[in-house]
A and B are shown apart, each in its own frame.
Chain A
């Protein structure tokens, strides 16, 4: 790149102009409220932490259920009737979701999953497993609160549970023990998928909420100057 004296003067003038305009860039002009950015980041971090925590918990719990549930290649087809919120969704559908819908679905899913998880906790026979499940439930409760915080920061209302649709844990006699074990298996699996999806959702949201890249570049140049 060939720079002449005239170009240098031109660049300097341009930089001075940009610096003059820096206070006017909204992304760099935040002095008080940091916005939803940090809370999205925290939610994302919590999601990743829960992913890690669930890996350990699921291993212990599936061993507690016994084979075939603790076998790594055990991947049975799901039953047609599902009470668990499904995390898997068509990619196009997922892309078409807006932020509000994304956050709402996350919030609703974890509300349900948390309830089922508490039922799991009641069933667990060993004290250690109960302790691990209780700890995970507390963390998941924290994630739920964090999602609610992000939604509030973005001005979205929290979804109201419809009367009669509140999930309840019922160890009914209609459910055989084998199916119950299967439900526990799917609960943990669904939870894993939801956490993975949430990490992707919050990462996307985090990027979206970040200031424009040009403004950052200009800011860095200004600091370097």
Chain B
């Protein structure tokens, strides 16, 4: 039968849908047919009618439709309450991406109702006076608690919750396995969660046995293997939710899907230094089926041995070729032997092999220092590698064997982990043997030989350049019998304590590359290459020095300017250490700036500094030259200089220029002439001061004071108390008596100076000091000195001695008689003689008064110049000359003259 069905909405005449429904009918059968409206039925009255027609091949055409049935009304609004607002559909479940129509029925037509999807105002279509519909397209999942749609007028809001489900995915990676041939476990990846509280269901169906089971988990399902020895299984997994049904199938052979359970009780047994037996157990599968087990041995995380063993219940395997004192991990896993499909999970067990004696001699090197002629040897050794220690090294034995004394052995035990020891030796030859000991025994010995005398250290040092790999170096063998070579160096910079490093090389090696993680650019490293003789003696072969990478100097020298002149100065930086720089110093740059001119001096070249200033630069290409003379400078000019070293990597940092101002040209005269003069004057003054007494004695000795004479006191006390000293005031010289006046001679006192040549040849004249009445002009203001040398007797007698005066007399009279001592002696003698013994007429002392006025010596001629008082203050050295000596008859040639002949303006002191 075919049924044609019509559905109309709101009014019967508004047909919205027409469709056919065909089915085979029997008598009295009740048919069910359903139609889903996109608009919730609560929002509109629906009408339905149908007609039918026989659709059977047995009934011949023409066939006719029956009449339409009457319209049947479906009115859900009748069941609503009296709420003013209703929103439908209530709590609808929809799939993500589908379209939904929501409607509301408002009983209050005056109410202005707004509808919102979540918080977004939504506009709908009015279907009826009180019904509005909202079509939501391609709806998406927001949250598990659903998407809210609500409408609100004046009253309480009314709404619905749309529960949106994500599309159910097809299960992926569906597979089954068994661990014990009793239970099957099928697993799959369910994909993304649908996002609903209601989870999809998963059902496992097996087509051969036609059994099915509802899975308890969304990604796994267990299936009990029946005892009917079914091997093949055809599983279908069906995932189902409200909207969709997804299924996936596999054909599964039970034997091909055995995944054994992990083995257990894995233990090491009989562990020695090189062997160990591992034992383990497995869970039986089926009727004690055979299992293939894989035993792996791991050292330091890597698989070093792997063995496959076929077992049923208990496993056992002997692991050999193990290293002593080494921690290993043994692990085992098993698979079904009849058909390999999957390994079981691993189980593992750690064990450590027993110790053995170290297998290799320690690498030993030495550093020899000669203290007071005795070698002090510091022995260094490298710790043995883990491969060779075979246990924990407990101590090192150092055996010192004196080769010159056969029975001399010294044994030192150095506890680990020390890696050096110091031994002081005599000037003999020694062999030193070093062995490392663990709890089992010693290692083979390492031997070094020490000579009692320092070797040849005078080896020229060569330069090497470092590369990225290290320091490549080569050497020339000295002897053919070398047993090897050793390169030693210090890992740290020169100013740090040396961490001695060395590298042993074979006898056929003549070159190597020394590399170390400690090497740094800009540090100078020194290498010494030794040749090892057959007697294990080391001879220095070569020295090398170099940088891994030369850097520009890190600092500049402290330059001192000196020898500053008006045209030059000298720069000096002798304290700058070239050895400890960050590269080989190749020379220095001298920068010079002058304000005077822009032209550079000879040898300088113009250069532009980083600050764009222009200056002159001089290159010193000798690193040992640490002075520089700046020449041809302008006086009184300011020069700025700066010295920086340079290496192959560049020059030192730019520092500030230092200023030097050249002095003016004449300043050196001050230094070279005036200062020495001042010095000389000072020396003379000091000499004069020191020799002043001597000068005084020579040039103007003190006039003896008769009153202070010791002789006087002697005389007074012993001889004659009446003897007094003549007072000069008592002696009034009023006349000059010419004792021996040669005829024709005439001394003229013109008051003018006469030169000695003029007076030369004049006869000796005697001046009479006795006063004459004629010429006496009364006591003048003359100062008369009391002179002990006066002969009082003579004075008393009015006799004044005469003194032959030569023209040279005013100068310091030299000779034994004129010395004060001799004079005094003579005087004393004369004086003693004069005490009554000497006749008056024999007075032999002539006196020339030093206060005598330059009066005319000629008795006959009146004095042209009377004595002037001013002249009396002049002091003339008095002289007492023994008569015997003074009285030889003056010859014609004797040039004597009286001091009174002196010009008053000319004094002799």
Contact = CB atoms under 8 A, between A and B. Distances in A.
Interface of A: 64-69, 71, 76-79, 125, 176-178, 181-182
Given A68-B150, A69-B148, A76-B152, 13 more contacts: A64-B143, A65-B148, A66-B142, A66-B143, A66-B148, A67-B119, A67-B148, A78-B156, A79-B156, A176-B90, A176-B91, A177-B160, A181-B145
A64 to B, nearest CB: 6
19 contacts: A64-B143, A66-B145, A66-B147, A67-B118, A67-B119, A67-B148, A68-B148, A68-B157, A69-B148, A71-B119, A77-B155, A125-B144, A125-B145, A176-B91, A178-B148, A178-B158, A178-B159, A178-B160, A181-B145
Interface of B: 87, 90-91, 116, 118-119, 142-148, 150, 152, 155-161, 163, 197
In the complex, which of the residues B145, B147, B161 has the most CB atoms of chain A within 10 Å of its own CB atom? B145
Contacts of B163: 177
A180 to B, nearest CB: 8
B156 A178 contact: no
Contacts of A79: 156
Main SS of the interface on chain A? Answer: loop
A57 to B, nearest CB: 16
B579 to A, nearest CB: 71
B158 to A, nearest CB: 7
A182 B90 CA distance: 14
Leading 7 A-B pairs by shortest Cβ distance: A177-B161, A67-B119, A178-B159, A67-B118, A177-B91, A176-B90, A76-B157
Nearest to A176: B90
Contacts of B161: 176-178, 181
A67 B158 CA distance: 13
Contacts of B119: 67-68, 71
A80 to B, nearest CB: 8
Contacts of A77: 155-156
Nearest to B143: A66
B794 to A, nearest CB: 128
Contacts of B144: 125
A79 B116 CA distance: 20
A178 B159 CA distance: 6
B197 A125 contact: yes
Contacts of A67: 116, 118-119, 148
Contacts of B159: 178
Nearest to B149: A178
A66 B143 CA distance: 8
Contacts of B91: 176-178
Nearest to A63: B143
A69 B150 CA distance: 11
A218 B155 CA distance: 59
A178 B116 CA distance: 13
Contacts of A68: 116, 118-119, 148, 150, 157
Contacts of A182: 157
A63 to B, nearest CB: 9
Nearest to A124: B145
B141 to A, nearest CB: 12
Nearest to A178: B159
A176 B160 contact: yes
A13 B197 CA distance: 81
Contacts of B148: 65-69, 178, 181
A178 B145 CA distance: 10
Contacts of A64: 143, 145
A225 B782 CA distance: 118
A178 B147 CA distance: 10
Contact of B156 (A65, A76, A176, A181): A76
A102 to B, nearest CB: 31
A69 B197 CA distance: 20
A30 B155 CA distance: 57
A178 B118 contact: no
Contacts of A71: 119
A79 B143 CA distance: 26
Contacts of B197: 125
B151 to A, nearest CB: 10
A178 B87 CA distance: 10
A95 to B, nearest CB: 31
A125 B197 CA distance: 8
Contacts of A76: 152, 156-157
B907 to A, nearest CB: 114
A188 to B, nearest CB: 15
A186 to B, nearest CB: 11
B194 to A, nearest CB: 13
In the complex, which of the residues A71, A79, A177 has the most CB atoms of chain B within 10 Å of its own CB atom? A177
Contacts of B157: 68, 76, 182
Nearest to A67: B119
In the complex, which of the residues A64, A65, A66, A78 has the most CB atoms of chain B within 10 Å of its own CB atom? A66
Contacts of A181: 145, 148, 161
A18 to B, nearest CB: 64
A67 B142 CA distance: 11
A7 B90 CA distance: 86
Contact of A66 (B146, B156, B158): B146
A177 B159 CA distance: 9
Nearest to B91: A177
Nearest to A126: B144
Nearest to A125: B144
A53 B785 CA distance: 135
A68 B87 CA distance: 16
Nearest to B118: A67
A178 B157 CA distance: 10
B166 to A, nearest CB: 15
Nearest to A65: B145
Contacts of B156: 76-79
A175 to B, nearest CB: 10
B124 to A, nearest CB: 17
B352 to A, nearest CB: 46
A119 to B, nearest CB: 15
A108 B874 CA distance: 149
B152 A177 contact: no
B360 to A, nearest CB: 62
A178 B156 CA distance: 12
A189 to B, nearest CB: 14
B257 to A, nearest CB: 36
A176 B118 CA distance: 17
A145 to B, nearest CB: 32
Nearest to B157: A76
A177 B148 CA distance: 9
A161 to B, nearest CB: 30
Contacts of B90: 176-178
Contacts of B87: 178
B146 to A, nearest CB: 6
A182 B157 CA distance: 9
Nearest to A78: B156
A212 B130 CA distance: 67
Contacts of B160: 176-178
A65 B143 CA distance: 9
A178 B150 contact: yes
In the complex, which of the residues A78, A178, A181 has the most CB atoms of chain B within 10 Å of its own CB atom? A178
A150 B239 CA distance: 58
A58 to B, nearest CB: 15
Contacts of B116: 67-68
A76 B146 CA distance: 20
A171 to B, nearest CB: 12
A177 B155 contact: no
A66 B161 CA distance: 10
A125 B196 CA distance: 10
A178 to B, nearest CB: 4
Contacts of A66: 118, 142-143, 145-148
Nearest to A177: B161
Contacts of A176: 90-91, 160-161
A219 B197 CA distance: 65
A23 B876 CA distance: 133
Contacts of B143: 64, 66
